[in-house]
Structures are given as structure tokens and as C-alpha cells.
Amino acid sequence: MPIPVKNAIVAAIAPRGVRRMACTLMMLCFLAVSADSSRAESMEVQCRPTAPDSLGPFYKPGAPERESVGSGYLLTGVVLSAQTCLPIPGARVEFWMNGPNGEYDDAFRATVFSKQDGAYRFESHHPKDYFGRPPHIHIRVSADGFNTLVTQHYPSVQTSQGDLDLVVLPQP
């Protein structure tokens, strides 16, 4: 039996079979998000987890280990456990962004590892907006015993530095 979803756009443009599939996918996404947030609520979270954001189409694993892909913008922060608020040393933090010409390129990808105190540092040019998207830097954080976090940092236009703590949830 199809799941009733009141979505005029899906109903108007999609054939019946596609509507059923779209409704099922939306319900599965809702259940997955609900399960993840209820898991976070059930564990004693001391620090608010960093909000996830889109991976985007340009992620490639294996970015070179380096702290800089340019100059003019500095992003720093600390990788922390949501459960204990303690720093996570050795967390892999991957960055990718568009270049000054607005194109994604291997020259603007980097991997850093958080220090003993959980601190990380990434230097780049100020990201450009494109296709109506605000300037942003993609970030992926992974560490043993923790869920992988994918998020984005949106720097203010007039700033040359930002601070973003990356708070990750422990694995169940």
C-alpha cells in the first residue's frame, strides 16, 4: 500500500509508479533522520553535534595531506566528541572547494589531521559563489569510534578567517 504524501509537485509531474517510489524514498529519508536524531537524544550528548550538510558532487577520497591550498582565508577549530566534549586527536579532516575561477579542482583539496588538542587549521583563498550557491568549503571528518560527519562552512564575505568546531557523534 503506498504511503500517502501530500506533495503537489511530485503528484503533478511524476507518473504513478514514480510517485510511489518518490513517496517511499521520502518516508525512508524521514525515518532515517528521525532514527539518527532520536539516537543522539537517547545518548547523553554534552556538546551539540555539528549539523550535517550536503556532500555535493565533487568529493573525491584521497586528498593530499596539506594545510594550505591558497591564501586569504584561514579556517580553524577543534574536533570534539559530542558525548564528552573532549578533543579527538588524529581525526581526519578533508576539505574541498572551488578555485578562484569557480571550478572544483584537485589543487583545492586537502586533508589535515587534528592535533593532540583536537585543533585543526586550513588555509585557502576566499571561496567563490556559483550557480546561486553562497561561498562555501566542504568538510568531511572521520575518526575511529565516531560517525563520519559531512558538513560545509559558509564564510562571511568580508572576513579573512573563520572558526568552526567540528562536533561528531560516537558510533553506537
According to the model, what pLDDT value does residue 35 have? Answer: 40
> By the 8 A CB rule, do 67 and 113 touch?
no
Q: What is the DSSP string of 11-60?
A: HHHS-HHHHHHHHHHHHHHHHHHHHHHHHHHHS--SSPPPPP----TT--
Amino acid identity of residue 117, one-letter, is D
According to the model, what pLDDT value does residue 43 have? Answer: 58
According to the model, what pLDDT value does residue 140 have? Answer: 98
According to the model, what pLDDT value does residue 113 have? Answer: 98
What's the CATH number of domain 73-168, 2.60.40.60, 3.30.70.270, 2.60.130.10, 3.30.450.60? 2.60.130.10
- 91: buried, middle or exposed (CB in 10 Å: 19+, 13-18, 0-12)? buried
* Domain residue ranges in the chain: 8-42, 73-168
**CA distances for 15 relative to 20, 28, 73, 110, 135, angstroms:** 9, 20, 48, 43, 37
Rounded to two decimals, the pTM is 0.74
According to the model, what pLDDT value does residue 23 have? Answer: 34
**Distance between CA 96 and CA 109 in Å, rounded?**
4
- 85: buried, middle or exposed (CB in 10 Å: 19+, 13-18, 0-12)? middle
**Distance between CA 141 and CA 126 in Å, rounded?**
21
According to the model, what pLDDT value does residue 37 have? Answer: 44
DSSP 8-state assignment for residue 87: B
According to the model, what pLDDT value does residue 130 have? Answer: 83
pLDDT tens, residue order, the chain (172 aa): 333 333 333 333 334 343 333 333 333 333 333 344 444 445 567 899 999 999 988 999 999 999 999 999 999 999 999 999 999 999 999 999 999 988 999 999 999 999 999 999 999 999 988 888 899 999 999 999 999 999 999 998 889 999 999 999 999 9
Residues paired with residue 110 on neighbouring β-strands, in sequence order: 95
Kindly report the backbone phi and psi dihedral angles of residue 148, in degrees, each rounded to the nearest multiple of 5, phi listed first: -70, 135
